[in-house]
Amino acid sequence: MDIILGSSSPRRKKILGSLFSNFSIIHPSADETILAGETPEQYAARISRLKADAIIASLAPVESEKLVITADTIVTINGEILGKPADIDDAVTMLKKLSGKTHGVITSMTVAHLNNNDTKVITQSEKTAVTFKKMNVDEIIHYLSLIDYSDKAGSYAFQEHRGLIIDKISGSATNVIGFPLTLFFSILVEMGLPELIC
């Protein structure tokens, strides 16, 4: 089976690489504009599925069995979606919003199993609660100087210098990184592909 990761995220690549020695990467194209009235959960699920659909369309016709994996991770607080920052000022503003508060990290994952003319697609989501330490502007700027925040939803990297910003989490750590392993395994079981996680 050909395994395809539809993501440009090095974090997702590393986690999937811990499970499979061979897989390919396709960078999917999707319009990530938030729709009016869309909840954070609906948004993440829709974008994850759009990414998968774009890859599936690019693979037609399917000549061998394939597994396509896409995901979308967002940070949300008080119903607001915090995406990737436009610049340093935007990043500081985001972290000021999160300072001293608990927010949600939602990852929606889509897994598509393509086998001849049969395609099965499942999209499911996981949410983790993350509580930030109270930080002043100088502490925020110092933290941002230590990471590449430009490609991070919410302007922070859970896996880098977390002790500076995070007080506690409730839920999956791999979900915060962007590839919830337990959710991935449960989707494979639901698809009838438990042998892939043995």
Point out the catalytic residue in the list 2, 31, 53, 72: 72
Q: Chain centroid to CA 128: how far?
A: 12
Give dist(CA 125, CA 190) in Å, integer: 14
The question of whether 72 is a catalytic residue gets the answer: yes
Task: List residues with catalytic annotation.
Answer: 72
